Structure 1
């Protein structure tokens, strides 16, 4: 029995020893693995604007302690635009929460990205450390750009209401093209989907930053407000078309075909997104392409309608003036930024924004020519009965001149004749 007891004790001791060795092995392995969960390196800000010849202090924050020393080295995209001091930084092992100062010296106006490599690998997530530095000529121009941005945002936002007021005061939408409205509501709906998706959806944002690790979210809160507000204002205008005089106008077959094609694209890409064939981010990009296409064509129906009627009565010139103001200031802001940041490549390279701005301005100028030059003598036609006491009038109480169409019954041909009375 004593021998058996000795054997069991020996086996128990061996098991205990084996368990201890396993625990030691696990501890050794864990100590050898870089701990990236409780430690991190990050900048207090990633997007920085610096004046030319200015020195700007940047802080690199360390959270937690690393079990080995690290070396952080900067790679500057354009050394002729900005310089860092120091360009390499040593992070000692065993330190706690601390910060390190890095000086950014603006050399010449422009944009430069700065990438950082950390050795040894595995301790800091790749692409986690980066800076985007913009060196500018003048802070005053930067403020001008900021103010101009809000002014053209306000002008574009308010531009929908002159047409709404015109419709309300006339109790008529005659002169306002329905194709323009149909294309507009489709465009702003697509624009709202794009903006709301990128601004509110965390999943889509993660997808975006996975594609563009050093990118910025292109959608800001004012973009969301503008697009949704524009869609809302367009819906109000469409509602007016349902309740006010419209002389039988409806959306044309051509416009319906275009809208049906776009709607089909949205449905197909939406199904592909649900089926995970494409990402939801791609779906939003398709929505933005539809908005882009609509912007190119939406003004054509109204311009053609004005030409055929030889009149702009019913089409609010206030809408055009505000739209022109917003478009002009948008391009002006691009010019100011291009000069201040010496970034003319982006100015001419961003064809979408620059091209759309010029295209919209060209149509606005054409509409103003139609209103103030080509058809400035055009008067509004008002249909009344021959017995109406207003049939001899040629102006309204608010000073608007119009031509009265007197409706007389033709007994021989059994129809109404319209006689114009000045």
Structure 2
């Protein structure tokens, strides 16, 4: 009897393994058009979503940090290298978006190429990545706003509700929780309303970046790209001076940091079922948004390091410091408006893909089918939006910003790598 039963168990194991690597069939032309979601996003909306989700507070902080601590004036080249790497990743997403214009981004792409098990893993990886991303941006929004009011919110909660637990925040950040719930409500009301909000705030953010670059051009000094170490104040670690004060390795190390400033454009790929003509508009929006983002980062970092010696920059708030140094105090308030608008669109960009990924996974019966239900009135995955909003808000309230950012980096790298591998398999 052992022979037949052993054969049956072996057959059962083989069937199970085949289930794990079975792939999703790409629907025909008519099947790709069918969706319960509202197709209302044009090329402009998608490009604004890509720019808004990526060009957040990073543009107001990262350039100064990398210039001061890692790359010096060569931060400009660091951003160019990071931009090139991001464009290559963007081209992989663009190719898939043209071939498989469905909601779900990397989850769907892995399902049609490497199978169900990897799709399941990458789907949950993306849910955690975007949830952590939402929480980190909400926390940054709260911290930035709090700094404008002399840390009164932080001090109040630290005095009245302190938390002394390892790995958690020193106080429950109810403000960041409230911001997350507010944008959750906006996303639940419909994709058209969310797109309008994103378009306006992204436009304001880009105008502030343009203001900074144009005003900064009147104060540039080419000597700041060729500084002598002998002229530096005592006790200042400014490297060897010149354009590459920390060497080629410092510039490349800066590029690795700058790469994470480009994270977010992939949220455009999750709009496969809400975009008009997704096979054309999504790839176009990904590439155009990356070009706009690259120009913004490179031009701002160049102006910043030409206006002020890199070793004097404030790594936490470089732009207000530089304009204060030049006697343009009013720029501080304009930059603050841009930073809050940028943080708002980054928060929306991090939250937007979450319910779409849950919807895609639920549609394939990988998780609970109830999460695939679309509200008849708002044409959004309402339950999935509410659940992900509350979960992300709680993470923002309880965790420190540093822990959140460290967790997010691993998930992002895994998603980008898998999409690149899937393109090779697909070909």
Name the TM-score class by shorter chain. Answer: under 0.3
Which structure's relative contact order is higher, taking Cα pairs within 8 Å and 6+ residues apart? 2
Structure number with bigger Rg: 1
TM-score in terms of structure 2 length: 0.25
Larger helix proportion, structure 1 or 2? 2
